[in-house]
Amino acid sequence: MNKGERMKLSVIIPCYNEKENILEILKRVEAVDLEKEIIIVDDCSTDGTREVLVTLPPERARVIHHAENKGKGSAIRTGLQQVTGDIVIIQDADLEYDPNDYYELVKPVLEGRAEVVYGSRVLRRDVEISYLRYYFGGRFLSWLTNLLYGANITDEPTCYKVFKADVLKGLDLRCRRFEFCPEVTAKLCKRGYKIQEVPISYHPRSIEQGKKIGWRDGIEAIWTLIKYRFTG
């Protein structure tokens, strides 16, 4: 890719039981004025999400359906197989993250200053906090990442992770559930990639509204970071 050459952004949206949100997040992503493709992976939803997605015309998004529920990590890996763009971003379907942040997130890659960019909620001083246990859990995972890998990042579990496509495809990901974040971070660090961060907005939803991640996922994230520090 020559400097200044136009790059295409591939947006992977893993979703599970997001009937009320999937069309809204799609509309917000479509409104971003960047050359892009949108890949939605429905992880065998049971709430009617699938029925909503089958009505979408192919020019709006490439939709893939899992025949069984496999987890967010598996959905991302499925989406990655369909990527044709030069840059990849992960977009949750729950409306917590604002696609208007794409412009700043991809800028370091477009300008040739970075190959990996994370959107940091911590760097945004006015950011909302949903539950203190999630906030401090995220800060602990970032601290542990910095301790184990010398990464110098503030928000390891952020959804907004941006990669040059060839970088992400070269990591041999094995994740199935929410351990996508620690696995991809660990493997990037072990391969010597520097993670650049930019501030992003954040609008957390409550457990009652459908927030899915739990304490067991936090334990798995810790284990994943430790495991990949000492294994391949």
Neighbour tally for 215: CB within 10 Å: 10
Give the integer Cα–Cα distance in Å for 219 and 126. Answer: 28
Question: Is the residue at 20 inside a domain?
Answer: yes
**What distance in Å separates the CA atoms of residue 40 and residue 75, rounded to the nearest whole number?**
9
Indicate whether 162 belongs to any domain. Answer: yes
**How high is the pLDDT of residue 142?**
97
Determine the Cα–Cα distance for residues 87 and 108; give it in Å rounded to an integer. Answer: 11
In the chain, the N- to C-terminal Cα span, in Å, equals 29
The answer for residues whose C-beta is within 8 angstroms of residue 4's C-beta and 6 or more apart is none
Specify the pLDDT at position 69: 97
Instruction: Report the pLDDT value the prediction gives residue 206, as an integer from 0 to 100.
Output: 57
CATH at 34 = 3.90.550.10
Whether 194 maps to a domain, the answer reads yes
pTM of the model: 0.92
Q: Give pLDDT, residue 130.
A: 67
Confidence (pLDDT) at 135:
84
User: For residue 2, is it within any domain?
Assistant: no
The number of angstroms, rounded, from the C-alpha of 16 to the middle of its chain's C-alpha atoms is 14
Q: From CA 45, how far away is CA 93, in angstroms rounded?
A: 12
- Those residues with Cβ within 8 angstroms of residue 126's Cβ, 6 or more apart along the chain or in another chain: none
Residue 110 vs residues 8, 62, 103, 164, 214: alpha-carbon distances, Å: 10, 24, 10, 10, 35
Q: Output the pLDDT for position 212.
A: 62
- The answer as to whether 170 is a domain residue is yes
Strands (E) across 69-225 are located at 87-90, 116-120, 161-164, 195-199
| Domain presence at residue 3 | no
Q: Total domain count for the chain?
A: 1
d(CA 213, CA 14): 14
Q: How far is CA 89 from CA 14, 39, 104, 217, in A?
A: 11, 10, 12, 22
Position 223 in a domain: yes
Q: Which domain holds residue 84?
A: 9-230
Q: What is the predicted pLDDT for the residue at 124?
A: 87
Q: Note whether residue 1 is domain-resident.
A: no
pLDDT averaged per 10 residues, the chain (length 232): 71 97 98 98 97 96 98 98 98 96 98 97 81 85 98 97 98 94 98 97 71 80 96 76
**Cα–Cα distance, 142 to 40 (Å, whole number):** 28
> Residues 210, 185, 183, 26: is their CA dihedral positive or negative?
positive
What is the C-alpha to C-alpha distance for residues 57 and 47, in angstroms, rounded to an integer?
A: 21
